[in-house]
Amino acid sequence: MAAEVPEDALGRRVSCGDDRATVRFVGAVPPTEGVWLGVEWDDPSRGKHDGCHEGVRYFACGHPSGGSFVRPSKASFGSDFVSAVRRRYGDDGAGAAAADEEINISSKTLEWTDVKERSLESLSVVLLEECLVNGPGADGDILRTTPNVRWLNLSASLLVSWDQVSAVARQLEHLEALQLSFNRLSLPSEGAARRGAFGNLRALTLIGCRLAWTQILECAPMWPKLEELIVEDNRITHLHRPPDGVFEELRCLDASKNPVEQDSLLNLAHLPRLEHLILTDAALSDIRFPDAAAGAETSAFASLEKINLNCNPISEWGVIDELAKLPSLRQLWCRGNDLVSDDRNPKTANQMLIAKLPHLCVLNGSQVSPQERRGAERDYLKMFGEEWMRSEGRSPSRREFARRHPRYARLVEKHGAPEEGELKKPRPFALKNQLLKITFVFADEASRPPLVKKLPVTMEIGKVKGLLARILRVPAGDLKLSYTSAKVVGAEYEMGGDLKTLFFYDVEDGDTVVVRRQ
């Protein structure tokens, strides 16, 4: 066997340029001469076969084209932790970071003053992403060299198991945040027995590690004080209930980019301290809390204050009514889904979100002011007031209305019932010859008098801009339009789609269009 191949090469992780792989075979591949490594690539598209070559089975891998043979000279087996630290930072720690470098670990951003150190012994932050760390090295070396590390990044390393990770961590008694993204780690031999290695760990990042939730739960006893867990882009489908004593300190869970089975979310509902749940791009279309009737509070997720549901195929407003059952919910991110209002105006949809969620303080990162809440709730009353009035005195209809609008009765108690003249009635199909009287005001030219025009309801916004461009003698592309309505005081709606019509934006006769230069 060639000298450059370690005796324990089988099962080791290797780096071949920018790609990572696991060694599944070491030996000859006739009729060629010399030693080959049979590897299973992390990226199956990098491979050529499944370990079977010329009719001979040399090894097996999980993907039919995920394997290759490479010469040992093309593969690096990496180095131990301390060697990587010295290579990255120098013997005196002088290379800790560039003065203008911004460092992100977990959800925290460290400033230069947090990482500027004068010696390896005083390093509190060690960033070894893609530094090919393959293990802890000699026993005690890490403790002697970098005893004060609090923040550690070992993403895209060549570690093969949680046993190796714990061998590193047990020498770092101050370790609080650990990044292990893009690794392939076998499960620990005794998870609960290794909890002392991670006794102070608060934040753990495991992006792209191909982990199922059951595997995460098997490791979880090692992290008794964990508060933040990021498991984005893994193989999580069913969220099994964590055993008693597991994740009891967890405050934030990010399971984005996993095809989560929506019914299994309730298996996390008992976690006592969970405040922030991030489920971006998780293929969720529905969320239900069957323990509580419409308009009541659920006992699930008692501490949950923030939830991120961006980029999910949510189209039913009933999902928002279910979220309203969460007693502590204060912040919601809900962009990039299929929730739309009847007028298809994003601002109207936001008003509906605010009106349906009584305790919401932050929507999509923006504070909800008392004035905005009052306006949203009153507009919601007007929006569905005619339907509410039609259902009065008709028990089946009123029950159906209450099911779809569980907060409506409370909003009536809070603001009073809408008057008939305030109701937003559905508009019949617009005829091509229907004209709208529109007043144009010019926000950037206060001295220019308003312009009144009668335009077809089917006129596209781009053509409206063209008309204004000829009047103002400016390029149409420089113009930005929005409109206001006397029926909705204080609200202004953007008209950004040039191919969309005035009818699409629900512009009515007598409305005002505000013209601005971009």
Is the bond preceding residue 370 a cis peptide, omega within 30 degrees? no
- CATH number, domain containing residue 69: 2.30.30.190
Which 3 state secondary structure label does DSSP give 247? coil
Domain count, the chain: 5
User: Which candidate, 322, 291, 290, 292, places its Cα nearest to that of 307?
Assistant: 322
Distance of CA 167 to the CA centre of its chain: 31
Q: Answer whether residue 429 is part of any domain.
A: no
Shared domain check, 169 and 143:
yes
Domain boundary pick from 221, 248, 272: 221
The answer to the question of residue 84 being in a domain is: no
Asked if 217 and 243 touch (Cβ cutoff 8 Å), the reply is yes
Q: For residues 251 and 175, state if they share a domain.
A: no
- Please, are residues 133 and 78 in contact by the beta-carbon 8 Å criterion? yes
DSSP state of 258: S
The answer as to whether 351 is a domain residue is yes
Is residue 139 domain-shared with residue 216, that is, in the same domain?
yes
Residue 294 within a domain: yes
Domain membership flag for residue 90: no
Q: Long-range contacts for 440-446 (Cβ within 8 Å, ≥24 apart)?
A: 440/468, 440/512, 440/513, 440/515, 441/512, 441/513, 441/514, 441/515, 442/472, 442/515, 443/514, 443/515, 443/516, 444/515, 444/516, 444/517
pLDDT at 429: 44
CB 284 within 8 A of CB 315: no
Q: Which of 389, 422, 455 is the last residue of a domain?
A: 422
User: Residues with Cβ < 8 Å from 390, sequence gap 6 or more?
Assistant: 397
This prediction's pTM: 0.77
DSSP class of residue 166?
H
Q: Which residues contact 352 (CB under 8 A, 6 or more apart)?
A: 317, 320, 341, 376, 380, 383
Please check whether residue 128 lies inside any domain of the structure: yes
Is 360 found in the same domain as 256?
A: yes
- Return the DSSP state at 288: -
Query: Are 252 and 209 in the same domain?
Result: no
For residues 240 and 363, membership in a common domain is answered with yes
Contact residues for 463 (Cβ-Cβ < 8 A; gap 6+): none
Same domain, 475 and 354: no
Are residues 346 and 278 both part of a single domain? yes
d(CA 469, CA 477): 9
pLDDT tens-digit profile, the chain (518 residues): 444 799 899 999 999 989 999 999 999 999 999 999 999 999 999 999 999 998 999 999 989 999 999 999 999 999 999 999 999 998 766 555 443 445 565 555 554 445 454 689 999 999 999 999 999 999 999 999 999 999 999 999 999 999 999 999 999 999 999 999 999 999 987 766 777 899 999 999 999 999 999 999 999 999 999 999 999 999 999 999 999 999 999 999 999 999 999 999 999 999 999 999 999 999 999 999 999 999 999 999 999 999 999 999 999 999 999 999 999 999 999 999 999 988 888 889 999 999 999 999 999 999 999 999 999 999 999 999 888 887 776 667 788 888 999 999 999 999 998 877 666 554 444 445 688 899 999 988 888 999 999 998 888 999 999 999 998 889 988 899 998 887 667 778 888 888 888 877 778 888 999 999 88
Domain termination residue (choose one: 193, 221, 249): 221
**Do 365 and 333 contact (CB within 8 A), yes or no?**
yes
The CATH number covering residue 500 comes to: 3.10.20.90
In whole angstroms, what is the distance from residue 509 CA to residue 436 CA? 5
Helices (H) then strands (E): counts for the chain:
12, 26
Whether 483 and 495 have beta carbons less than 8 Å apart is answered as yes
| C-alpha dihedral (355, 358, 364, 368), degrees to nearest 10 | 80
Q: What is the 3-state secondary structure (H, E, C) of 46-74?
A: HCCECCEECCEECCCCCCCCCEEEECHHH
* Phi, psi dihedrals of residue 4, rounded to the nearest 5°: -75, -5
Same domain? 473 vs 489? yes
Nearest Cα neighbor of 510 from 458, 468, 454 is 454
**Residue 4 maps to a domain:** no
> What residue has token string 């003065």?
99
Contacting residues for 119 by C-beta, under 8 A, at least 6 apart: 92, 93
Buried b (16+ CB within 10 A) or exposed e, 322-338: bbbbbbebbbbbbeebe
Domain check: are 307 and 273 in the same one? yes
Same domain, 386 and 463: no
* Residue range of the domain that includes 315: 236-367
Same domain, 363 and 243: yes
In a domain, 80, yes or no: no
